[in-house]
Structure 1
Amino acid sequence: MRIVTGDRFEAFVDEKTFLFPEYRKNRDELVAFVDSLRGDETVVTSSLELIDLIARRFWRGEENVLIYSDTGKGLTLREAYELRKYLDFDVRGGFSGEEAKTGVLFVEGKTDAKFFKAVFKKLFEFRESREAPFNLRFIERVFERDNFDLLRRDDGYHLAVIPSEGNSGVIRNLGNFLRAMEVFDFAVDRIGAAVDIDEDRESALSSITGKLSGFKTKKTPHGYLVGRTEVVPLVIGLPFRDEIIDWKKPTVEDLMLHLIAKEGLLERVRPGLEALNGSLGRKLKPKEVMYLALSAYGHWGNLEGFYELFVMRSRFRNLKAVLREAGLMEGLMYLAGWEKRR
């Protein structure tokens, strides 16, 4: 199965080609059309709905591809399916124009995204933006506005913070995004991949380098150069030890625990923690501590909002100390394009 998109599709047309079969068809008719396909046809289309239907049916198999005719390069339908499902990426292409200095950070989830968003705003002078440069227009065109954060600094540097679904989601999105840049001929300057240390730092790094093994890479002081883009690994791991907190593995919650401890909030809520600990007859989970801290802080929103608010209101020296202790400060500074401002 071949799906062809883009403006230069004529060279891919043969006797088994369907040209824009979505024309004047409703969804039921498109579903019926896809059900009639055997898998050896070529479909030229500009319909994301039709692409989704075909990719959902034919995503298995390396022979099933989506070709972007403007470059002649292609993705497997599995890659196209995952770009659509997890990043809502517009696989019709068409990204062009003047590029600006840009970075993208893939993180595990929405609480991670709000934490790092606040870090970039607090430490590196970013502010939220509603306008993107041309090499980030794919975000404005295809990402849901509540599922990512787009930031801009006055020097013109742009940064997108995009949540994934766990460590595996970060790695999957990193690989698919690098492939999309190859195929659709656009680039960002730096991509951060923030993953938790599940077992040890080397295992976490190997998950990133393993994904990069499918690309031509060059080692750099901060990461790996893939084409015009530098990939910056960010490994999260700063254990938090406390006699009433049940710490198991490193997450962004640990960074928050260290920060609320440095800011004095942990001691304020300790009587409540001890009372809950005695009532439950067990140690408290980090998330339970977060909810008590959220309540004591007077924030009645969700954890995502609390993370962002607390980081923004924390002292510079405390936030920097936590990030340095976690080994994240240098990587975040580089991803933010801040290394020349020290």
Structure 2
Amino acid sequence: MRLVTGKKWESFADENAILFPEYRKNRDELIGFVNSLTGDETVVTASLELIDLIASRFRRGEENILIYSNTGKSLTLKEVYELRKYLDFDVRGGFSGERARASVLFVEGKTDAKFFKAVFKKLFEFREGRGAPYQFRFIERVFERDNFDLLERDGVYLAVIPSEGNSGVIRNLGNFLRAMEVFDFSVERLGVAIDIDESREAALESIAGKISGFEHEKTPSGYLVGKTEVVPLIIGLPFEDEMIEWKKPTVEDLMLHLIAREGLLEKIRPGLEALEESLGRKLKPKEVMYLALSAYGHWGNLEGFYELFVMRSRFRNLKAVLREAGLMEGLRYLAFMV
């Protein structure tokens, strides 16, 4: 299967090509069309709906590709499927507008995203972005749905993008690098924030393994892939407390360290002791988070609490936690403060 999109599609319009089959068809008719395909066709289309349907059906097999006719480069339909599903990437291309200094930070989940969003606002004076630069036009609609966070400071832009766990971060890293290659755009810096699952070395190896599929070179901060520098941010700062069951480092540990430095942990300790006795076991970090949230007087969700607490914390405490975690320099670099 070959899907062709972009402005220069005419060169693919031979007698065997199916040209713009979406014309005057509703969704049911498009589904019927896709079900009739054998996988040997060339389909020229400008419809994201049709692209989604075909990518979903033909995402297996390296021979099934989408060709962006403007550059003549291609993605596998598996990559297209994942770009659409996880990043809502507009794989029709055609992006335009002014380029700006821009960074992307991939994080594991939405609570992680709110934590790092608040860090960039608190320490580096970023604010909510009001308009996406050229490099982010492909996912501008997602920002409007509040799935991602777009920040801006003096013409410098930063997108904080949640994924689905460590594997999701690595998957999005690879797909994003491929998309930049095919659609001929770039961001200057791309942060990859993942937890230490087994070891710091294993976390770094997972990033290096994905980078190995691209031409790259090592830099002091990470890896240079084309015009983009990939910056690993490995999260690993164990939190030790006799009442808290600790298994592996996560952003929750950073929050626990910050809560302790801000004095909130001691204020809720009587509640922690009562809950521990009631449950008959040590407490999970998330359970501590919910008690802290309640004691803090925040009646929203954990995402909102993370952002609010970081924003209201003392500069010296937040910087101390990030320095101890080994994250401060990488964050400064993504913020173009280095």
Q: TM-score range by the shorter chain?
A: over 0.9
Amino acid at match of 1:267: E
Corresponding residue number in structure 1 for 2:191: 192
Post-superposition Cα deviations, 1:249-273, rounded to whole Å, max 9, x if no partner, equal 1100000000000000000000110
Corresponding residue number in structure 1 for 2:148: 148
**Cα RMSD after superposing both structures:** 0.8
Unaligned ranges ≥5, structure 2: none
Does residue 4 of structure 1 match 2:4? yes
Corresponding residue number in structure 2 for 1:295: 294
Q: CA deviation at 1:319?
A: 0.2
Distance, in Å, in 1 between the alignment partners of 2:141 and 2:21 is: 24
Distance change >3 Å, CA 311–CA 169, structure 1 → 2: same
Question: 1:152 aligns to what SS in structure 2?
Answer: strand
Contact 1:96 1:134 (C-alpha < 8 Å) held by counterparts: yes
Corresponding residue number in structure 1 for 2:72: 72
Distance, in Å, in 2 between the alignment partners of 1:122 and 1:236 is: 19
Corresponding residue number in structure 2 for 1:125: 125
Percent identity of equivalent pairs: 82
Distance, in Å, in 2 between the alignment partners of 1:2 and 1:97 is: 29
Distance, in Å, in 2 between the alignment partners of 1:263 and 1:143 is: 32
Contact 2:103 2:158 (C-alpha < 8 Å) held by counterparts: yes
Amino acid at match of 2:217: K
Amino acid at match of 1:204: A
Question: 1:4 aligns to what SS in structure 2?
Answer: strand
Q: CA deviation at 1:279?
A: 1.1
Corresponding residue number in structure 2 for 1:24: 24
Q: How does 1:188-267 map to 2 (within 5 A)?
A: 188-267=187-266
Q: CA deviation at 1:10?
A: 1.1
Amino acid at match of 2:131: E
Q: CA deviation at 1:142?
A: 4.7
Corresponding residue number in structure 1 for 2:311: 312
Amino acid at match of 2:210: K
Q: CA deviation at 1:40?
A: 0.6
Distance, in Å, in 2 between the alignment partners of 1:143 and 1:159 is: 12
Corresponding residue number in structure 1 for 2:107: 107
Contact 1:96 1:186 (C-alpha < 8 Å) held by counterparts: no
Amino acid at match of 2:334: L
Distance, in Å, in 2 between the alignment partners of 1:21 and 1:138 is: 24
Distance, in Å, in 2 between the alignment partners of 1:120 and 1:337 is: 11
Corresponding residue number in structure 1 for 2:175: 176
Corresponding residue number in structure 1 for 2:270: 271
Runs of 4+ in 1 over 6 A off after TM superposition: none
Amino acid at match of 2:331: L
Contact 2:90 2:139 (C-alpha < 8 Å) held by counterparts: no
Post-superposition Cα deviations, 1:260-296, rounded to whole Å, max 9, x if no partner, equal 0000000000011011111111000000000000000
Distance, in Å, in 2 between the alignment partners of 1:116 and 1:109 is: 11
Amino acid at match of 1:24: R
Question: 1:178 aligns to what SS in structure 2?
Answer: helix
Contact 1:89 1:143 (C-alpha < 8 Å) held by counterparts: no
Question: 1:300 aligns to what SS in structure 2?
Answer: coil
Amino acid at match of 1:28: D
Amino acid at match of 2:127: R
Corresponding residue number in structure 1 for 2:280: 281
Distance, in Å, in 2 between the alignment partners of 1:145 and 1:119 is: 22
Contact 2:258 2:318 (C-alpha < 8 Å) held by counterparts: yes
Contact 1:88 1:143 (C-alpha < 8 Å) held by counterparts: no
Amino acid at match of 1:178: L
Question: 1:261 aligns to what SS in structure 2?
Answer: helix
Distance, in Å, in 2 between the alignment partners of 1:6 and 1:144 is: 24
Question: 2:146 aligns to what SS in structure 1?
Answer: helix
Q: CA deviation at 1:13?
A: 1.9
Distance, in Å, in 2 between the alignment partners of 1:98 and 1:128 is: 19
Q: CA deviation at 1:15?
A: 2.2
Amino acid at match of 1:109: G
Q: CA deviation at 1:156?
A: 0.8
Question: 2:268 aligns to what SS in structure 1?
Answer: helix
Amino acid at match of 2:215: K
Distance, in Å, in 1 between the alignment partners of 2:198 and 2:2 is: 41
Q: CA deviation at 1:98?
A: 2.2
Q: CA deviation at 1:307?
A: 0.2
Distance, in Å, in 1 between the alignment partners of 2:132 and 2:52 is: 26
Distance, in Å, in 2 between the alignment partners of 1:311 and 1:135 is: 28
Distance change >3 Å, CA 79–CA 143, structure 1 → 2: farther
Unaligned ranges ≥5, structure 1: none
Corresponding residue number in structure 1 for 2:46: 46
Amino acid at match of 2:190: I
Post-superposition Cα deviations, 1:56-77, rounded to whole Å, max 9, x if no partner, equal 1100000000000000000000
Contact 1:109 1:165 (C-alpha < 8 Å) held by counterparts: yes
Contact 1:164 1:170 (C-alpha < 8 Å) held by counterparts: yes
Contact 1:132 1:140 (C-alpha < 8 Å) held by counterparts: yes
